[in-house]
Structure 1
Amino acid sequence: MEVIFSEKANTQFTNCAINDKKRYNKIIVLIESIINEPFEGIGKPEPLKGNLSGFWSRRINRECRLVYSVANDAIYIVQCKYHY
């Protein structure tokens, strides 16, 4: 499965790689879990509602969420910092 980052998510992910290795490593683990089981697994996956209907969220830590969707054999990451 291909993993595609939005521009915003890519910037957040890159900043994590430089400034917050713990969060960066957790994001990697969550993405691996999404590849294996997109809607189950670690990080308490939950479908989002309202404006973000069709997207899912997983907990990175107490304050940050990984927001993504899955379509056409690809995972689209739209956010990996803060809440939605």
Structure 2
Amino acid sequence: MSIYRRASASLSHPSPETETMLELLTLIATVLLPPLGVALKKGLGTDFIINLILTLIFFVPGLIHAIYVNYVAGGTRAIA
């Protein structure tokens, strides 16, 4: 099996450890820089734009929105 096939296989089916690390990275990004956390979880869409505006106005509304979008509302992931 080639290196490329092993790498692509591991990306399409991440291990539980990789999944946990991605969730931890997303949580840290959400707390430190809310738009980055939303972008990691949801992509560069409407939620990201709304969160960026809220964070630029004041940090706390952006943080609340990011936690709501990423962990309360659920939905699909943009990466992994």
TM-score computed with the length of structure 2 as normaliser: 0.37
Q: Which has the higher strand share?
A: 1
TM-score of the pair, normalised by structure 1: 0.35
The structure richer in helix per residue is 2
